[in-house]
Amino acid sequence: MRKAVLLLALVSTVAVAQDKAPPYWASIVPGKARIRTGPGRNFPAIWLYQRRGLPVKVIATYPSWRKIQDPDGAQGWMQANMLSDERTGMVTGGVQPMRAKPDAGAPIVWRAEPGVVGRLRKCRNGWCDFDVNGRRGWIEAAHLWGAAPGETVED
């Protein structure tokens, strides 16, 4: 029963991601996912992502394929069912403080190293509530790949 509920939730999440008009943010669902030079299995694979939850930007669509851009700027085509609309972010730049409130003067509760991926629960006024395996804090959106400048995200 639990597997069926999880599968239903995953299918629902993927369907929502497939209906959006680009550009939009998504995250990679499986632990291994390939991108290709074009929208089809007949196109050569150019990269294998091995990071579940990695945020990507969907920049084009073609029936069941999505052209994505990753945090390094690389682009390629991925099957739509490999993507979720669950919002994640990746820390960029140097080590970033995760604060108790969305305020530069708020106490630091954690520090996140570059490359750390976490869930974006909310983003507003240039700050995102960032959750890394239950360790939550607010990070400036400018230091995250996965949130557009000025974007509002609600969990």
Question: In the CATH scheme, what is the code of domain 89-145?
Answer: 2.30.30.40
d(CA 46, CA 68): 13
Which tens digit of pLDDT belongs to each residue from 132-148?
999 999 999 999 999 98
The DSSP 8-state label assigned to residue 92 in this structure reads: -
Per DSSP, the three-state class of 143 is helix
How high is the pLDDT of residue 155?
Answer: 73
Contacts 24+ apart (CB under 8 A), 46-53: 46/76, 47/74, 47/76, 51/117, 52/28, 53/27, 53/28, 53/86, 53/88, 53/117, 53/119
Which of these, 92, 151, 150, 85, lies nearest to 119 by C-alpha position? 85
pLDDT at 150: 85
What's the predicted TM-score (pTM) here?
0.84
In CATH, what is the architecture of 2-86? Roll (2.30)
pLDDT on residue 18: 53
Residues with pLDDT less than 50, the chain? 1-17
Do the domains 89-145 and 2-86 match in fold?
Answer: yes
| Ramachandran angles phi, psi of 23, nearest 5° | -85, 150
Domain ranges in the chain are 2-86, 89-145
